[in-house]
């Protein structure tokens, strides 16, 4: 998932109100409700669960306030603001729900024969923060919440985009927006790695 602390709900709200189809708005609004309240999973907003996870890593909420974005980070964030505020709701929906919120596992997990999901505690034991940073799995309630609701959200996202991108022109616009998002996200990632002193292997 490529979302940023606390801003995913504001992105979602930006394009839900412009979505003309009630059939498309309902699952998007359900996703927003979960992000803001945790009402479908653990009863806590996802940003609060993120902060709990960060606190267990030694980072406090003030670490995520009044930040100064790196140049590539600023370009990526500006792009996300642009697509969610654009009058064209479909491209913004695709960027936020498929690219930002999605993962490389989408196709496998929502296909016709998805593999059985492993038990949540197994998922947590193998999470990279546990394996590489010795994080206590009890701090991973954000991952637990995603595990409880994410499959339905992923399926909804793809169905909304595929059912509404019906022309060749609309499909190309969605593709171009996703490709642009990937380019900017890769630059953002490289900028962070460079700032942290991480060199390519």
Supply 181's token pair. Answer: 């998002």
Distance CA 74, CA 77 (A): 5
Q: Write the CB contacts of 12 (distance below 8 Å, at least 6 apart in sequence).
A: 28, 31, 32, 35, 96, 97
**Has residue 32 been placed in a domain?**
yes
* CA angle, residues 161, 164, 170, in degrees to nearest 5: 90
Domains contained in the chain, number: 1
Instruction: Report whether pLDDT(6) > 60.
Output: no
Decide if 1 is inside a domain: no
| Residue 155 belongs to a domain | yes
Looking at residue 18, its pLDDT comes to 72
In a domain, 159, yes or no: yes
Residue 3 lies in a domain: no
pLDDT (0 to 100) of residue 2 = 42
Q: Which residue has the higher pLDDT, 50 or 200?
A: 50
The mean pLDDT value for 9-24 works out to 71
- Quote the tokens at residue 137: 């799995």
The secondary structure of residue 97, as a DSSP letter, is I
> Which tops the pLDDT comparison, 4 or 178?
178
Output the domain CATH number for residue 91.
Answer: 1.20.910.10
Residue 35, token pair as written in the block: 């992000």
Q: Is the pLDDT of residue 166 over 90?
A: yes
**Residue ranges making up the domain that contains 20:** 8-195
Residue 13 pLDDT class (50, 70, 90 cuts): low
pLDDT at position 56 over 70: yes
Q: Which candidate, 156, 151, 152, 140, places its Cα nearest to that of 117? A: 151
Alpha-carbon distance of 95 to 89, in angstroms, equals 10
Give start and end residues of each alpha helix (H) in the chain.
Answer: 8-16, 22-37, 46-56, 71-85, 89-93, 106-109, 120-125, 128-133, 141-164, 168-195
Whether 140 is in a domain gets the answer yes
- Say if residue 102's pLDDT is above 90: no
C-alpha to C-alpha distance for 7 and 69, rounded to whole angstroms: 14
Letter string b/e over residues 132-147, b meaning 16 or more CB atoms within 10 A of that residue's CB: eeebebebbbbbbbbb
pLDDT of residue 124: 94
Q: Is residue 201 part of a domain?
A: no
Q: Tell me if 187 is assigned to some domain.
A: yes
């Amino acid at each position: 998932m490529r979302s940023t602390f606390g801003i995913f709900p504001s992105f979602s709200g930006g394009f839900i109100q412009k979505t003309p189809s009630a059939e498309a708005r309902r699952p998007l609004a359900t996703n927003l409700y979960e992000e803001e309240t945790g009402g479908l999973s653990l009863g806590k907003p996802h940003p609060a669960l993120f902060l709990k996870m960060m606190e267990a890593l030694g980072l406090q909420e003030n670490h995520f306030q009044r930040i100064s974005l790196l140049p590539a980070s600023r370009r990526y964030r500006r792009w996300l603001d642009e697509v969610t505020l654009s009058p064209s709701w479909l491209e913004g929906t695709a960027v936020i729900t498929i690219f930002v919120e999605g993962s490389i596992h989408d196709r496998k997990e929502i296909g016709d024969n998805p593999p059985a999901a492993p038990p949540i505690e197994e998922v947590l034991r193998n999470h990279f923060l546990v394996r590489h940073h010795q994080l206590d799995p009890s701090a991973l309630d954000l991952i637990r919440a995603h595990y409880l609701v994410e499959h339905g959200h992923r399926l909804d996202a793809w169905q909304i985009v595929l059912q509404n991108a019906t022309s060749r022109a609309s499909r190309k616009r969605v593709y171009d927006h996703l490709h642009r998002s990937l380019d900017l996200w890769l630059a953002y990632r490289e900028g962070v790695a460079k700032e942290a002193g991480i060199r390519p292997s």
